[in-house]
Structure 1
Amino acid sequence: MEKWWENAVVYQVYPASYQDSNNDGIGDLPGITERLDYIKKLGADIVWLSPIYKSPQVDNGYDIADYQAINPDFGTMADFDALLAKAHDLGLKIMMDIVVNHTSDQHQWFKEALKGKDNPYRDYYIWKDGKNGSAPNNWGSFFTGPAWEKDDQSDQYYLHLFAKEQPDLNWENPKLRHSVYDMMNWWADKGVDGFRMDVINYISKPEGLPDAKKNPDDLYANPEPMVANGHRIHEFLQEMNQNVMSKHDVVTVGEAPSVTTDEAKKYANLNNQELNMVFQFEHMCLDGNDNPALGRWADKKASLKDLRANLSKWQEALAGKAWNSLYWNNHDQPRVVSRFGDDSTEEYRVLSAKMLATMLHMQQGTPYVFEGEEIGMTNAYFDKLDDYVDLDSINSYHQIVDQQKLVDGKTMMKYIAKHSRDNARTPMQWDSSKNAGFSDHQTWEKMNPRYHDINVKQALDDKNSVFYYYQKLIKLRHELPVITNGTYALVDGNDQDEQVYAYTRKNADTTLLVILNYTKENVQRHYDVPANAKVLISNYSDDQGDNIRPYEAKVYQF
């Protein structure tokens, strides 16, 4: 039986950057409430809010100091209640972003844990004695530096896979687990409709926390192969499901770095014992650096052969077994039109944004749209390190350029302009007035300089805009069952094509043929299109048959 979220579309809001209602330069909950009608106009069903909890904002709210309090920068719990009520009045659902791999070091649990080894909250976190006068193992933090911080008072180290202000929780402790379930039930009882779970597949750490394999060029070992998809992860998530999800009609998606299709079939199995779907990152790693020590820091474009092979692998592997999430953008990823598309001219920006939207929204799964994606917002391309806010970008520059000397500063700035998380976090571009209508105050993150030409007002005034194209794609998903339940298959012989991606979706009643030109070249391709086929959607106003134009996308229905 089809679940309500299977043909839904999720719209992600990054609260600090959406709309500032009180002119302090930071977006807030009343600002989001003001803009819910816009999200409804787009046609989305679910609004995913990035973390809005009380937080010191060391990692932009992913360091939570109190799970049941609102960050004062964003407003009050009364403001949240008003947002939830208006969303429900409009027929929109609210998905909360929760982080339960770690907390802030300002969380009351951790403050208690620091009081001593015999404190009842000590075991809510992961503590180890040092080894030969240094850290317990060779793991590095994902934010550079070691993954261990020494507490001088107890002479022990605590684990932090991210910033030192983000201590990891100890999921081996059943009291901790049930404290988390109680918190989730509190929000579900309040009326929230779902949870997006940050790095949820990191919560089961390996027994004994042994050393990880180390790349010779790295200062520390990458712990991800040891912490992702750990030995108790499915046990923990099934317990969470029994204690929380089974009691409420909520949708869940787990962020799961290094997840495989086989693991995803367990996490997001259609039997609904764990999560409804997961975010995988394989397609987000296709444009990484050839030097593993540089990771994602590069400025190349993913090849169509690699991209198609990966998207097809996930479509085929999960079909009939588990549910896909579909996304290009989120708060951690650069803008898709600058990454997989072409923002070099206005014509190509619009065409390639629509082509990429078609590629994704015609596949099976639940699509996610990140704020501004629906108007074709681009990377900010800041050219000075001082313009960046993202901790990871700044730390990576210093580690790669100053410490490891792997590339020069000019090259690294090119890489950061392409891949920094700040590209997603520049304020939403509502109009061409001061600060794009986001705020009258100096904004917490610098504005993208292209807001004068790329903004919501401009998009709503242009019937051929990226916005209305997304609106049509979402409407088609709601109306055509084949997009939800149809089988996916590449067109015969398409698997090696370096320019055009062509696939079908079929159910008992309908066939869709999706044709996408990933390049700015005119190309000739012949596909067997029945005479009675109609063009369901296209980013060009006419159909030239076998002549496929730059970044052309067209979907035939027959």
Structure 2
Amino acid sequence: MIDDTGPTPRRGGWPIAPVIYEIYPRSFRDTTGSGEGDLRGVMEGLDHVASLGVDAIWITPFFVSPHVDGGYDVADHRQVDPRYGTMADFDRLVSRAHDLDLKVMIDQVLNHTSDQHPWFQRAIEGDAEFADRYLWVDPKRDGTAPNNWLSQFGPPAWTWNHKRRQYYFHQFLACQPSLNLRNEAVQEKHRAEIQCWRDRGVDGFRFDATTSYLYDTSLKDNPPASAEVQDKVSGENFVPYTYQDHVYDMLPGDGVAYTKKLRDWAGDDAFLLGEITSGNQSVELASQMVATDQLDACYTTDMPEGKGTPKVVADILSRQDKTASAWWMSSHDQPRHVTAAGDGSDRDARLFAMQCAVLPGPWMIYQGEELALPQPDLTKEETTDPLDLLYWPDGPGREGPRVPLPWHEGADHYGFTSGTPWLPMRWPHGKAVMRQSEEDGVAAFYTELLKIRKKYRLGEGSWTVEEATDHLLVLSRETPEGHFRAIFNHGQEPRDRADQEGDLVFSSEADDGLSARVGILLTRP
């Protein structure tokens, strides 16, 4: 059991364990007929988001970008990409969110830039000052790359540039050269960018790929991964990246301490969320990064990659020494979990939602999961995501959750756009926002669940894992509002709960028993 009422004091009006709704603006709502969502569309859809009872929104990158990697290849971190609107649109969005009592969190992509960024172009032209803001290295005598480092997508992490006759380093795509975050000019740039968005009313930041910020300057080869390590490295085990133990290309020495700079730049009242992409030792790294003068929480890929099973939840809880982990199942980078981890049913959508809701720490909801949206099937010709295409048809399925949100049942393109949506929309009947918000819809269930979570402060307090088998998870929770037992039957057969004493508080199904694929919350006697 761990006694912890939250990793940090309340900051800037933020709850200790906020519920954060992720918005991928390109697929949220289109107001121009371009077929792509925009910031005005986000603003117009905030009433629905606020009605769920969440505390904040996280908006993924809307910055100037060639959009090779979904906007995470940023060419200008301080300007709105015209495809999404204007800075005035962003200001109106922030104002509207605050009127609805929603905090606003945006992405900060500090690890890399687009290869179209002016800095990188200056480096290619031979400017030594700008070259030092990235990592350029001479080839070995035989012309090969400096070491064996691989990008997280699998191909080598080094790309040759014939003009400089050097290799440059990139943790992700070749069009995303990694920045040298030890460089003072890079640090000043990031500090100024963060301050720019704080000045515009942003309340917090989600930091992309925090475990990729720093590399060991020795540039030693990574050793092979042991079988145990390979099983834990983030990503499918057919991706060569998982064959290495990433001890030199990610977070050496002072990497964890770098989060203190992020806190200093963002201010004491901002809520800071870090993304952990290491896989190996992910929860332990999250715990090291969370402190009063560091981040407020981190999230790892353990939950979605492990399908949110009882043993996965128990493993995460056993490895963290505070409420460092934010809980989630789907995102713009992970397939929709009602299909990936469940059978696509509303029943499974409710089960996973309730499981996340009663776990200690922040909860991240991805747009459309409150509608129980399944993972769409896309053809290779319809797919644009480079990682999905690299391993087609066995890629991670990143494009599926980016299919635009259905708003109105029966309307052209479900009311998302008056034009042609950038990805085809083939949603099942009954999944639109205006349908699911009805009394018996999954969105209505989310709304009631969030009320229960807030009333009993389930994101706070201590926990004990009483039981975790292939199909059963039993948690004992103590919060500032009482003592509870949460029971989740992930199996396909009903279970007897006669020995589970306590009055029913809430259930993911209509009955109060342990039917198949159900979660229940009881008061502890």
- Work out whether the TM-score is over 0.5: yes
Shift of 1:100: 0.7
Instruction: Determine the structure 1 residue equivalent to 2:487.
Output: 515
Match of 2:125 among 115, 133, 136: 115
- SS of 1:254's equivalent in the other structure is strand
Conserved 8 A contact 2:300-2:325: no
Structure 2 residue 269 is the aligned partner of structure 1 residue 249 = yes
CA distance in 2, matches of 1:519, 1:225: 38
Residue identity opposite 2:297 in structure 1: M
Q: Deviations over 1:90-131 (max 9, x none)?
A: 11111011111100011111122122153x211110000011
Q: Deviations over 1:172-223 (max 9, x none)?
A: 2122112111111111122100110110111110122122235898777657
Residue identity opposite 2:135 in structure 1: I
Match of 1:90 among 100, 113, 116: 100
Shift of 1:265: 2.1
Match of 1:540 among 485, 499, 509: 509
Match of 2:135 among 123, 126, 143: 126
- SS of 1:327's equivalent in the other structure is coil
Structure 2 residue 479 is the aligned partner of structure 1 residue 479 = no
Instruction: Determine the structure 2 residue equivalent to 1:551.
Output: 517
Match of 1:435 among 390, 413, 437: 413
Distance 1:218 1:56, change over 3 A: closer
Match runs of 1:14-29 below 5 Å:
14-29=24-39
Match runs of 1:47-86 below 5 Å:
47-86=57-96
Q: Deviations over 1:467-526 (max 9, x none)?
A: 111111211222213x133321123xx23x332222121247522121212123223343
TM-score, normalised via structure 1 length: 0.85
Distance 1:27 1:218, change over 3 A: closer
Tell me: higher relative CO, structure 1 or 2? Use CA pairs within 8 A at least 6 residues apart: 2
Q: Deviations over 1:61-88 (max 9, x none)?
A: 0000001100111001111011011111
Instruction: Determine the structure 2 residue equivalent to 1:340.
Output: 341
Conserved 8 A contact 1:431-1:452: no
Instruction: Determine the structure 1 residue equivalent to 2:402.
Output: 425
Instruction: Determine the structure 1 residue equivalent to 2:310.
Output: 308
- SS of 2:316's equivalent in the other structure is helix
Gaps of 5+ in 2: 1-7, 226-236
Instruction: Determine the structure 1 residue equivalent to 2:299.
Output: 279
Conserved 8 A contact 1:429-1:451: no
Residue identity opposite 1:124 in structure 2: R
Instruction: Determine the structure 2 residue equivalent to 1:457.
Output: 434
Match runs of 1:487-506 below 5 Å:
487-491=462-466, 494-495=467-468, 497-506=469-478
Shift of 1:387: 2.3
Distance 1:117 1:209, change over 3 A: farther
Structure 2 residue 430 is the aligned partner of structure 1 residue 469 = no
- SS of 2:459's equivalent in the other structure is helix
CA distance in 2, matches of 1:316, 1:139: 31
Gaps of 5+ in 1: 287-301, 344-348, 398-412
Q: Deviations over 1:396-415 (max 9, x none)?
A: 23xxxxxxxxxxxxxxx3x4
Conserved 8 A contact 1:431-1:451: no
CA distance in 2, matches of 1:152, 1:184: 34
Structure 2 residue 386 is the aligned partner of structure 1 residue 377 = no
Structure 2 residue 283 is the aligned partner of structure 1 residue 266 = no
Conserved 8 A contact 2:223-2:246: no
Structure 2 residue 352 is the aligned partner of structure 1 residue 330 = no
RMSD: 2.1
Conserved 8 A contact 1:229-1:263: no
CA distance in 1, matches of 2:480, 2:196: 43
CA distance in 1, matches of 2:238, 2:349: 37
Distance 1:439 1:554, change over 3 A: same
Count of residue pairs brought into register by the alignment: 498
Distance 1:381 1:225, change over 3 A: farther
- SS of 1:83's equivalent in the other structure is helix
- SS of 1:6's equivalent in the other structure is coil
Conserved 8 A contact 1:49-1:95: yes
Distance 1:214 1:444, change over 3 A: farther
Residue identity opposite 2:431 in structure 1: I
Shift of 1:261: 3.3
CA distance in 1, matches of 2:152, 2:480: 47
Instruction: Determine the structure 2 residue equivalent to 1:177.
Output: 187
Q: Deviations over 1:241-287 (max 9, x none)?
A: 22x13x35111111111243332222012xx121111111223333x
Identity of counterpart residues, as a percentage? 29
- SS of 2:477's equivalent in the other structure is strand
CA distance in 1, matches of 2:238, 2:276: 26
CA distance in 2, matches of 1:353, 1:512: 22
CA distance in 2, matches of 1:193, 1:217: 39
